[in-house]
A and B are shown apart, each in its own frame.
Chain A
């Protein structure tokens, strides 16, 4: 079981870096969908599997909403306008986040009574989401960043809170963010018919 937590951490790392580096939305949503697999695994260590599965289902619904919205948008608008755009820079900053979250997770795991891979994965996702928000102004990327932050937070929060209402509201927030993302993409679509 412990080794699977490390596998979940590896998936979280790969997918969050992938989300940061992707330039094609298809890859972005693919990485996000895979990321929810690791969230499912991390959450099920504290919650019953049926409740943890709700996270996975919600996550994949989020991805579906974003795919449908993206299918209807103009691909010409995919270019990233913010600085910096270089993949090397993003990889470098990801490395910094990885190191910083490792240092933090050593303390957080003791503080929250979590195993190291769970604490590290959660903090890593939060950090990578914040990085995504910091270096991009594109609405689609902003939504991906917010979803990544929430994913990290949810896996951390699951350790301390197991209320069904909270789980339901967090799922609604995730779906709401996806719908907001779809709305943003639709707004741009109407701008350029």
Chain B
């Protein structure tokens, strides 16, 4: 058996099978067990090494040939598989408690498998096509047939589709540069195409208008999943570009470009989040900020920047899960997610409101919460090169902090003599309690997730050295 079959094709088959089942709990159970087994296999099974269990002998080959090209998952990719499928378990496990299991698990598993395929395909530029297929699969995932397609959904489709030609065409130019490295005109053209391609894919300023629109019009939980998995995989794809092309990695202007783009995203995302009246939109802007932080960490360069980049992954997915669960439950109890409609909810939905505010504060980089250690490392890294940059980043974080305080004040604004109660279900309380406990513990003991990302640099031949 080959590794790509186990972590790409098998999940696709299971995703198809899950569409046939009607019971939400059964779907979630199968998806969770299956994803857990995939995570465990990624953790334990070596790739391309013979193994013997009793009389049974087998070897996971790293390559799978398809139409003359290869999907390759080597031993160094195992940590990434653990991270992706391990995080997916959390998303799938919470789905039945908020009644989104059917779409969430089947389509979510297929999207995850396609994005893993995007990271495994060789030549790696073909990833753009697989990402586009995942985008197309995300359309029914993000919007139920009973709703009219909103502007956010349509813009998401347009921007992500426009990215594909840019990335594919840049690949052709990059091959030309490898053959003729002295051609500066070609380098410039390739850089512009790559820049545009990734700007569309990563929803870089000013192409991020679809994120707040989508978080406003779609289910927060499904949008949360999309906003977790797409930026994560695309950022890895981007790092793959840097790892693969020496001229790009060694370009003198690369770090300043990445830092400028990162600041633009952090500042615009943070400041705009402070003026939002819709809770979904605040989450959208927080995600934009987080992508900005990842780009900033890439701009720091070297193994230090890479390590900070990996440090951001686990707290971000945790914060997003908690935030998305809280918003979804809140949406069940409120007509809309506008601040005017959720006044005083702190007393009737204490778990939801606490989880939402904690996740918001964690992404703002507040000490003792999960987001603080990586954010602090970024501030420290930036401060060693330029103080004004740190001030700009701080302004962005303050914007998100302001939005958290505003939301907290709205939740607390209950009429006098309102009794405390908890209208969440038992399952919802358990998930949220585990969530905000994890947010606190990761803030206090960030080293606990160290084993998850210490092997990740091995994915990259040059960047990780």
Contacts A177-B161, A187-B145 given; does A142 touch B68 at CB 8 Å = no
Tell me whether A57 is interfacial, beta carbon within 8 Å.
no
Within 8 A of B (CB), among A134-193: 137, 139, 142, 146, 149-150, 153, 156-157, 160-161, 163-166, 168-170, 172-173, 176-177, 179-180, 183-184, 186-188, 190-191
Q: How far is the CA of A152 from the CA of B258 in the complex (A)?
A: 31
- Residues of A whose CB lies within 8 Å of any CB of B are 126, 133, 137, 139, 142, 146, 149-150, 153, 156-157, 160-161, 163-166, 168-170, 172-173, 176-177, 179-180, 183-184, 186-188, 190-191
8 contacts between A and B (CB under 8 A): A146-B157, A160-B169, A163-B126, A165-B66, A169-B129, A176-B133, A177-B161, A183-B139
- Residues of B whose CB lies within 8 Å of any CB of A are 66-69, 126, 129-130, 132-133, 136-137, 139-140, 143, 145-149, 151, 154, 157-158, 161-162, 164-165, 168-169, 172
Q: Smallest distance from the beta carbon of A101 to chain B beta carbons, Å?
A: 15
Q: Which residue of A lies closest to B146 (CB)?
A: A190
Chain A residues with Cβ below 8 Å from B129 are 166, 169-170, 172-173
Q: How far is the CA of A172 from the CA of B131 in the complex (A)?
A: 12
Interface residue from A150, A160, A179, A188 paired with B172 (Cβ < 8 Å): A160
Contacts A161-B172, A165-B69 given; does A142 touch B154 at CB 8 Å = yes
Q: Which residue of A lies closest to B171 (CB)?
A: A161
Asked whether, in the complex, the Cβ of B66 is within 8 Å of the Cβ of A142, the reply is no
Q: How far is the CA of A107 from the CA of B94 in the complex (A)?
A: 55
Q: How far is the CA of A188 from the CA of B164 in the complex (A)?
A: 27
Main secondary structure on chain B at its contact with chain A?
A: helix
Q: How far is the CA of A153 from the CA of B151 in the complex (A)?
A: 25
Q: Which residue of B lies closest to A180 (CB)?
A: B139
Q: A146-B161, A166-B126 are in contact. List 16 more A-B contacts (CB 8 A).
A: A133-B158, A163-B67, A165-B66, A166-B168, A173-B132, A173-B133, A176-B136, A176-B137, A177-B161, A180-B139, A184-B139, A184-B149, A186-B145, A187-B145, A187-B148, A190-B145
- Among B149, B162, B169, which residue has the most Cβ atoms of chain A within 10 A? B149
Interface residue from A165, A180, A191 paired with B67 (Cβ < 8 Å): A165
Asked whether, in the complex, the Cβ of A163 is within 8 Å of the Cβ of B69, the reply is yes
Q: Tell me the number of A-to-B contacts counted with CB atoms below 8 Å.
A: 85
Q: Smallest distance from the beta carbon of A16 to chain B beta carbons, Å?
A: 17
Interface residue from A126, A137, A191 paired with B154 (Cβ < 8 Å): A137
Chain B residues with Cβ below 8 Å from A190 are 145-146
Chain A residues with Cβ below 8 Å from B151 are 137
Q: Which residue of A lies closest to B161 (CB)?
A: A146
Q: Smallest distance from the beta carbon of A152 to chain B beta carbons, Å?
A: 9
Chain A residues with Cβ below 8 Å from B149 are 139, 184, 187-188
Q: How far is the CA of A69 from the CA of B179 in the complex (A)?
A: 47
Q: Smallest distance from the beta carbon of B291 to chain A beta carbons, Å?
A: 24
Asked whether, in the complex, the Cβ of A149 is within 8 Å of the Cβ of B145, the reply is no
Chain A residues with Cβ below 8 Å from B126 are 163, 165-166, 169
Q: How far is the CA of A173 from the CA of B130 in the complex (A)?
A: 9
Q: Which residue of A lies closest to B143 (CB)?
A: A187
Contacts A173-B133, A188-B148 given; does A164 touch B67 at CB 8 Å = yes
Asked whether, in the complex, the Cβ of A173 is within 8 Å of the Cβ of B164, the reply is yes
Chain A residues with Cβ below 8 Å from B143 are 187
Chain A residues with Cβ below 8 Å from B168 are 153, 157, 161, 166
Q: How far is the CA of A165 from the CA of B161 in the complex (A)?
A: 18
Chain B residues with Cβ below 8 Å from A168 are 67
Chain A residues with Cβ below 8 Å from B165 are 126, 149-150, 153, 157
- Among B66, B147, B154, which residue has the most Cβ atoms of chain A within 10 A? B154
Asked whether, in the complex, the Cβ of B139 is within 8 Å of the Cβ of A191, the reply is no
Interface residue from A142, A164, A179 paired with B157 (Cβ < 8 Å): A142
Q: How far is the CA of A156 from the CA of B133 in the complex (A)?
A: 21
Chain B residues with Cβ below 8 Å from A177 are 136, 161
Interface residue from B137, B140, B146, B158 paired with A146 (Cβ < 8 Å): B158
Asked whether, in the complex, the Cβ of A164 is within 8 Å of the Cβ of B133, the reply is no
Q: Smallest distance from the beta carbon of B246 to chain A beta carbons, Å?
A: 22
Chain A residues with Cβ below 8 Å from B140 are 183
Chain B residues with Cβ below 8 Å from A188 are 148-149
Chain A residues with Cβ below 8 Å from B68 are 163-165
Q: Which residue of A lies closest to B189 (CB)?
A: A111
Q: Smallest distance from the beta carbon of B73 to chain A beta carbons, Å?
A: 17
Q: Which residue of A lies closest to B140 (CB)?
A: A183
Chain B residues with Cβ below 8 Å from A180 are 136, 139, 157
Q: Which residue of A lies closest to B139 (CB)?
A: A180
Interface residue from B130, B146, B154, B158 paired with A169 (Cβ < 8 Å): B130
Q: How far is the CA of A138 from the CA of B162 in the complex (A)?
A: 18
Q: Smallest distance from the beta carbon of A104 to chain B beta carbons, Å?
A: 13
Chain A residues with Cβ below 8 Å from B162 are 149
Q: How far is the CA of A126 from the CA of B68 in the complex (A)?
A: 29
